Structure 1
């Protein structure tokens, strides 16, 4: 009879093939797959189903002799009527046996669940979705912060972790019950767990008309590698650019506002800025100014006098930064202005890379 060494046994011990197979089968887990899809505003596609009260990402069980990627592509065909390649992984989640409160009769042994990137869908792709007659009752795109209210706790944690991994661009993240075993700064800050501020305001490259009151001056402060300084709220994970609102000591000078706010919020200083443009508000006579400038100095993280909190300072590509905001279609025009200014400042275009937390003392020349 053929014998096989047991991986857990002493070298002198051996098992029959039948015994070894039974041992491995006793430790077997289910295999599942899901696909993370967003729209052009960064909202996540979820499905309402007729067999449970919580929503799901597209996906399901992996069939016999089927790879997880093949299973993901099959589920997209069956559930959304969409044929597409699924070839980029975002997360692999070890789902423990006791995490789902599954019925005892199900004998749920735990699961390895693969999350794949379904990409960003435009209006035409969304219009092409065909929901089947049964099982899937509807699909919708929702703000990431709503996932915990709509999905199971583990499902929401997994979806948010996968979304952060996609933004972070560091490759697939390994999860245990939806929680990264090696959390990034976006995970530690809880980015996207609170609703992103929604500012779908038109962007204009020209100067703001004199009849508009300047209520904000924000800056795209670019490091030597082309990445921008972004601030994360320590208690909510909400993201913003450095800058703020005018105060009397600024003497109606928006650049004085920007210098003061940037120093107060992030202990940052910047070189000669370029004016990008302004955002107008159809309902109010306000203008929000945008600048781009080279980041020249970064001191120890300060306590913001306006909030009493210390922001988490990170560097992100402009494209990654926009994924942390909900600025709508006008963000495309603002991004183009940022890159035009970046080129004018002689700063290279940043390669897609991990979002980096800035330490207490930073030598900008090493970025």
Structure 2
């Protein structure tokens, strides 16, 4: 089972019979269905019962891909990864470990999974996590790799630490005693999804926007327009100020705006970095899962949807993430 906490970190188990960690789960008994087996293992290992009604991935594991004696290898093992959901603090506090086998649990950042799990287990876990985020149904894997990789798999989303800004959320402009160092935009397509940019080398996710420069003359909207044109070759309507987050240590402010996209041109290198970003469309909730913004995320999403309604745009259904490759006019 793939289980996350409210920060998007993945539950892993330390066990007493191997050096690497595991996701919760285990082998099916004779005649037992995969879903029933997963639920039973969860009760035995963590003492928790949750409904399992979604399979994220089915993985065929070749006999020669596992480092065990040939006599004990399965002739093409089939592994199912079920969605165990997002657990709040109350459910996590209900965990009761058995007297043996499971020695501890941790919640790990997705990018840490290759360091904690065996290589095939890490590939499988990340593929399942991307499938959950992508809302594309059950993915079919071979040795942990999707047969039909989507853009999140191809780019390697979540293989690098997510940008972490666990700062308080405040509606309205930043106070005069705060230096605005970043201006970012929630830029909506007509279907209610927003644009997210993926860096080419690390697959780190960012919203369009960036750092104010002298040419912007202190106007944050000018910063957002310039940075969006440079990074994403995109233009948008007059934006609405959502609010800001603040770094308590440095007293820096990071502004957030919302606007409707009007035009997206051909992808081009950002003149500041030389990077050509991959541009994707995702629901605001999917976009938020790509970041590590902490408990204030819910308040920011509330402001995003309020602005979406003001812009007269629909609430997007949770669709598979799509890549923006061709120029469009909205």
TM-score by length of 1: 0.89
In the alignment, what sits opposite 1:28? none
- Quote the Cα distance in structure 1 between the aligned partners of 2:7 and 2:34: 28
- CA-CA distance at 1:159 after TM superposition: 0.2
Query: With CA pairs under 8 Å and 6+ residues apart, which has the higher RCO, 1 or 2?
Result: 2
In the alignment, what sits opposite 2:195? 229
Pick the aligned partner of 2:86 from 120, 123, 127: 120
SS in 2 for 1:61: coil
- Quote the Cα distance in structure 2 between the aligned partners of 1:363 and 1:135: 57
Deviations 1:272-302, CA, capped at 9 Å, x for gaps: 1100001111111211000000011000001
- Quote the Cα distance in structure 1 between the aligned partners of 2:73 and 2:164: 44
- Quote the Cα distance in structure 1 between the aligned partners of 2:67 and 2:23: 19
Are positions 1:279 and 2:284 aligned together? Answer: no
CA-based RMSD: 0.8
1:197·1:325 contact (CA, 8 Å) conserved in 2? yes
- Quote the Cα distance in structure 1 between the aligned partners of 2:158 and 2:290: 7
- CA-CA distance at 1:105 after TM superposition: 3.4
Deviations 1:113-138, CA, capped at 9 Å, x for gaps: 00000000000000000010000000
In the alignment, what sits opposite 1:311? 277
Pick the aligned partner of 1:76 from 32, 42, 45: 42
- CA-CA distance at 1:363 after TM superposition: 4.2
In the alignment, what sits opposite 1:40? 6
- CA-CA distance at 1:150 after TM superposition: 0.4
Pick the aligned partner of 1:357 from 298, 302, 323: 323
Deviations 1:301-325, CA, capped at 9 Å, x for gaps: 0101121110000000000001100
Give the 5 Å matches for 1:61-140. Answer: 61-140=27-106
1:98·1:110 contact (CA, 8 Å) conserved in 2? no
- Quote the Cα distance in structure 2 between the aligned partners of 1:107 and 1:127: 37
Pick the aligned partner of 1:328 from 291, 294, 297: 294
Are positions 1:144 and 2:124 aligned together? Answer: no
1:94·1:110 contact (CA, 8 Å) conserved in 2? yes
In the alignment, what sits opposite 2:307? 341
SS in 1 for 2:64: coil
1:218·1:289 contact (CA, 8 Å) conserved in 2? yes
- CA-CA distance at 1:109 after TM superposition: 2.1
Q: Which runs of 5+ in 2 are unaligned?
A: none
- Quote the Cα distance in structure 2 between the aligned partners of 1:139 and 1:111: 26
Larger mean Cα displacement after TM superposition, 128-137 or 103-112: 103-112
Q: Which runs of 5+ in 1 are unaligned?
A: 1-34
2:262·2:329 contact (CA, 8 Å) conserved in 1? no
In the alignment, what sits opposite 2:174? 208
Are positions 1:269 and 2:223 aligned together? Answer: no
Give the 5 Å matches for 1:185-200. Answer: 185-200=151-166
Deviations 1:36-76, CA, capped at 9 Å, x for gaps: 00000000000000000000000011110100000000000
Deviations 1:211-265, CA, capped at 9 Å, x for gaps: 1111010000001000000001111111010000011111111111000000000
2:236·2:260 contact (CA, 8 Å) conserved in 1? yes
1:205·1:277 contact (CA, 8 Å) conserved in 2? yes
Number of residues paired by the alignment? 330
- Quote the Cα distance in structure 1 between the aligned partners of 2:284 and 2:74: 44
In the alignment, what sits opposite 1:8? none
TM-score by length of 2: 0.99
Deviations 1:153-205, CA, capped at 9 Å, x for gaps: 00000000000000000101000000000001000110000000111011100
CA radius of gyration, larger in = 1
